[in-house]
Every structure is written in structure tokens, then in C-alpha cells.
Amino acid sequence: MLTEISRFVKHMRRKNTNAETYKTYRYHLNKFIKLILEPEGRLNCNPSEISCLDVDTFIEKLAAQELKAETINRCLTTLNSLYQFLMDEDETGTLESPVIARRHMLKERERLPRPVQDDEVKRFFNGVNDIRDRAMFSLMLKGGLRVSEVAKLTLGDLFLKERKPRIRVMGKNSKERSVYLSKRAAQTLKKWLKKRPESDSKAVFLTYQETAIGVRSIQKRIQKYCKLSGVKLTAHMLRHTFANILVLRDMAVVEIQKLLGHAWVGTTQNYVRANDMKVKDNFYKIMDAVEGVRQ
């Protein structure tokens, strides 16, 4: 199995050289190796020897680690993707995936996006005194960029001299999109660029060693400022807040979808469901009438 897993991960890396999805596949499959193959001495077993009962055991061990249903399902989806890859190569046509959706996939809790409250955003940014960090976080809050998209930005992706400043973003699965910048976000980014040291790296955001900053480093910076300000937020919550602002200003869902780089409009509609003003207004209107409260 180790040989097959290695080939699959290499295939995923070749399939999209600009993405780091392969690392996620490798991470989830390593769980299967550690929990199922290694303890049973089956590192070199044939893929056809893995059964649905092995998947049952895999789920039990993942659940014992108190992993969320979403995380367990991602592990199962990755394992299934491995088998889809191997089935394409199988000349006998007999290989089947041991992952059975109706049996193994767990029911996930449906959660609405969680934006950050205005006062918490202010408290957080009040503590950000580093212009580089302020520029990075502003792109998430005012442009809706994912943390990985911020890390990947290059100088060639910036179009700040245009009448309406914008940046070119390489999103998931190498999907390119344009993100427009508010005046303040553009000003903050320009301030950083004036202080940005000369470097062989074309990355917009650099470490103190003048190399391209990574996703983990950005996340650590956010954690630092969260601790200083007493605010609990993540990079993705800044992105949620951006979407939330647009929804509350009645921007069309399909337009928000384009700005966020969502593949499916249904993903964007989650923000609308989290901020259904019509439901809110109707509720208070009815309850005021029931309780005899004058408008």
C-alpha cells in the first residue's frame, strides 16, 4: 500500500503544481497508515486486501481521537480518491473502494459562517502596529482573501496604479480571479510596499529574513495579535466578515461568489442564510404586534 499511496500523492502533485492539495492528501493518508496499516503489519499489503471493515476500524480510531465529523469525512474522501486513482489503473476491473458512502460517511453538523463583530475587529486591528501584518490582514478583511492566497501573492499580481486598484488572486484549484481593493486597503498595501525590503523573492509579503512568508507564519501572527487584544478570531473569520459586510449591503450573491472565488454559489448562499434580514424584520414585526408594541 505504501507504494500505491506514494504514487497517488505524486500524481496529485503533478496534476496541480501550483496547489498544495497534495499535502492534504498525504496528511490524511498518513493517518490511515499509522492507525491501520502499521499496527497490523500491513504496510506492503495489496490495495484489494483493504476491506470495509478496515474502514470501520479507521473511523472508530479517528473518533477516539475526538476528531470532528468533517475531519473524519475528509480522511474517508481522501482514501476513496486513492482507490479511484488505483481503479483507473486496474486492468482486471475488479478493484473496488472499501469506502462505502452510505455506510461510512458521517453526518456533519451544519454550521453557518461566523463573522467577527465590529468592536472585536477594531480591538484586533488597534493592536496591529506592524505595517506588513496590517496589510496582510486588511486583504483578508477588505478583500476576502484566504490566508494561502495572501501568502502566494506576487508583485506581478498587483495593479495598484489603475483607477480602481485591484489584485490578481490565484485561488483553489488554480482558479484565477480579480479582487478589488477599497481605498484604505490599497493605502495600507502601498505603505507596506514602500517599506518592503529589496529581495530576490517576488512575494509581496516577506519574512524578516526577506523570504516569502508562509501560511503558518501568517497564522502565528494572527494568534499573536489575538492574544494581545483578547479577541478570538482566525484568518478565515476575517474572510467571513468580508462576505458578511457585502451581504448586509445587499450585494448580489453571484457577485460575492466571484469576489470570494467560490466554485459553487451554494457556498456563498450560506452567508445569506446567516444574515436573512427579511426573516429578522418579519419576526420583530410579528412579535411587536403580538405584544402590542407600537412601531
Locate the domains of the chain by residue range: 2-104, 118-262
Q: Which three three-digit cell numbers place residue 17?
A: 503544481
Report the length, in residues, of the chain. 295
Confidence (pLDDT) at 21: 80
Which candidate in 61, 172, 196, 224 is catalytic? 172
pLDDT at 8: 92
Instruction: Count Cβ neighbours within 10 Å for each residue of 218-241 and write b for 16 or more, e otherwise.
Output: beebbeebbeebebebbbebbbbb
Low-confidence ranges of the chain (pLDDT < 50): none
- 28, 221, 240, 262: the catalytic one is 262
Q: Is 163 a catalytic residue?
A: no
17 phi and psi, to 5 degrees?
-70, -20
pLDDT of residue 283: 63
How far, in Å, are 5, 89, 95, 121 from residue 84 at the CA level? 12, 9, 9, 44
Residue 102's nearest CA partner among 48, 160, 55 is 55
pTM, rounded to two decimals: 0.61
To the query of whether residue 22 is one of the catalytic residues in this protein, the response is: no
The pLDDT value recorded for residue 110 is: 57
Q: Is 236 considered catalytic here?
A: yes
Cell of 143: 478583500
Domains 2-104 and 118-262 share a fold: no
Q: Would you call 239 a catalytic residue per the annotation?
A: yes
Amino acid at the residue 187: Q
Q: Are 75 and 58 in contact (CB under 8 A)?
A: yes
Q: On the CB side of 145, how many CA atoms lie within 13 Å of its CA?
A: 29
Q: Does domain 118-262 have CATH number 1.20.1250.20?
A: no
Cα 199-219-66 angle, rounded to 5 deg = 145
pLDDT value of residue 271: 55
Catalytic residue among 28, 31, 104, 146: 146
Supply the pLDDT for residue 260.
72
pLDDT reported for residue 244: 75
Report pLDDT for 204: 93
Catalytic residue list contains 168:
no
Q: What is the pLDDT of residue 263?
A: 60
Residue 240 appears among annotated catalytic residues? no
Q: Which of 134, 168, 177, 236 is catalytic?
A: 236
Residue 33, pLDDT score? 93
- Report the CATH number of the 2-104 domain: 1.10.150.130
pLDDT for 75: 92
